[in-house]
Structure 1
Amino acid sequence: MKRLIDLFKNKYFLVSLAFVVWMIFFDKNDLFSQFQYHQQLNTLKQQRDFYQKETTQVNKDLDELTSDPQKLEKFAREKYLMKKDNEDVFVIVTPKKEE
């Protein structure tokens, strides 16, 4: 018990303790902020990976569309409902089931 009292009377220990408490709780880069930064970094990494995959897929689709006219025609018909002059297009929409 005497050692503990002597420890709290030591000015170097008190200054060090105050510094640690300040850095953990009150500083601009406290532990809570560091945790939030870490979560934000993980989210941004996931978004980066997603967009890299999407970019590679879009580039692959673009290469296919520019190299094959039949695929380009199929894409235009499906996505933009384009048609030839002598054709009629019927769009069938299935209703989504509500939960």
Structure 2
Amino acid sequence: MTLFKINNKRLFLKPLKNIFVIILVIFIVWMLFFDANSWLIHNELNNEIEALEAEKEYYKREIEKDKKAIKKLSTDEGLEKFAREEYYMKRDNEEIYIIEYEDSLKNKQDD
């Protein structure tokens, strides 16, 4: 049985004595971890690219929402509605009464 163990060790160590195998192993380790173009750096850059793509999609959706809001405000009715709701503007011959409910007051304080 000891003969089998010795042969097993020799089979494992024999490729490590070959200079080409040693150089190949060193090259693979260098390229995976230490090189400027290593696998680790590429992995980090790919994650960053995915995050930026998601952010790009978010901003595209926001731009579309803003374009719709600008389109609404470009009409006289939309501009008048915005001025009445946000700045409580009124015409000369009318009175405005603001009715606020208790739950709407809580929402304004949270914002």
Which of the five TM-score ranges fits, normalised by the shorter chain? 0.7 to 0.9
Q: Which residue of 2 aligns with 1:94?
A: 105
Q: How many residues align?
A: 96
Q: Which runs of 5+ in 1 are unaligned?
A: none
In structure 2, do the counterparts of structure 1 residues 55 and 21 end up closer, same or farther at CA, with 3 Å as the change threshold?
same
Contact 1:64 1:71 in 2 (8 A): yes
Letter in 1 for 2:77: Q
TM-score, scaled to structure 2: 0.68
Q: Distance in 2 between matches of 1:54 and 1:65?
A: 16
Choose between structure 1 and 2: higher helix proportion: 2
Q: Which residue of 2 aligns with 1:3?
A: 11
Give the ranges of 4+ consecutive aligned residues of structure 1 lying more than 4 Å apart after TM superposition: 85-93
Q: Which residue of 1 aligns with 2:80?
A: 73
TM-score, scaled to structure 1: 0.75
Note the C-alpha offset of 1:58. Answer: 1.1
1:58-91: CA deviation from partner (whole Å, max 9, x where unpaired)? 112212221x211111123334x15136456759
Contact 1:83 1:89 in 2 (8 A): no
Of the two, which has the highest radius of gyration? 2
Secondary structure of the 2:36 match is: coil
2:94 is aligned with 1:83: no
Identity fraction in percent: 25
Note the C-alpha offset of 1:15. Answer: 0.6
Contact 1:23 1:29 in 2 (8 A): yes
Q: Distance in 2 between matches of 1:91 and 1:82?
A: 12
Give runs of aligned pairs for residues 6-21 of structure 1, distance below 5 A.
6-21=14-29
Secondary structure of the 2:62 match is: helix
